[in-house]
Structure 1
Amino acid sequence: MTERSTLADRIAVTVRDVPGVSALHAGALGEAVTLLPGRRVPGVRVGDDAVEVHLAVSDSRPVRETADAVRTAVTTLTDLPVTVVVEDLADDVPTA
């Protein structure tokens, strides 16, 4: 496994554990991904000079606080600049 794939996977796991994150989000056109041999890591884009994290957040949590918590969590994994993009709000009310 390459450093890039390991980082993308570690970021994905870390972000999913942040309170208020409903899911990683691949973007409106599926462009927010890290492409790896034989697979993709949706919602995480690891580049040579930056990291982008795209996600859906819970509508019951403050969006800015959730995005800041994601940025803080990801910066513990890399020295690259981290951009967090909130793509969607997820309704926490379960449907029948």
Structure 2
Amino acid sequence: MTEHVSASELADRVRAHPSVVRLHGGPFGAIASYLPGRKVVGVRLPDEGEPVEVGVVLRLDRPLPDVVAELRGLVAAVVGPVPVDIVVGDVVTPDEPPEGG
């Protein structure tokens, strides 16, 4: 890794992207990092050699492939030369409330 980053720090960086509404745990909440006393949903920092996984809900304001490429680049710049999987769990249209209600 280019710098040591915790799952919480990586989650904060991903949430700061303007197209990210929130993090998403994926099917059955499998995209998560377990820390003492809590878990970070939407970010999985695996053992060496496995891909980093990030689950997101995105605003449908730009082409999804462009946003996913930006997110992959943002994560890769932090974690270094490891595979990065971005999972889009849902999208929110501009006329829809961000939290679904």
With normalisation by structure 2, the TM-score equals 0.81
Supply the distance in 2 between the matched residues of 1:39 and 1:16 (Cα, whole angstroms).
Answer: 18
User: What is the RMSD computed on CA atoms of the aligned residues?
Assistant: 2.0
Equivalent residue number for residue 39 of structure 1: 38
Does the aligned pair in 1 maintain the 2:26–2:87 contact within 8 Å?
no
Supply the distance in 1 between the matched residues of 2:93 and 2:32 (Cα, whole angstroms).
Answer: 24
Supply the distance in 1 between the matched residues of 2:79 and 2:73 (Cα, whole angstroms).
Answer: 10
Equivalent residue number for residue 11 of structure 1: 10
Equivalent residue number for residue 91 of structure 1: 93
Does the aligned pair in 2 maintain the 1:19–1:66 contact within 8 Å?
no
Q: Runs in 1 of length 4+ with deviation above 6 angstroms?
A: none
Please show how residues 58-77 of structure 1 align to structure 2 within 5 Å: 58-77=59-78
Supply the distance in 2 between the matched residues of 1:42 and 1:12 (Cα, whole angstroms).
Answer: 9
Amino acid at match of 1:53: V
With normalisation by structure 1, the TM-score equals 0.84
Equivalent residue number for residue 29 of structure 2: 30
Identity of aligned residues (%): 34
Structure 1: where are the runs of 5+ without partners? none
For 2:78, what is the secondary structure of its paired residue? Answer: coil
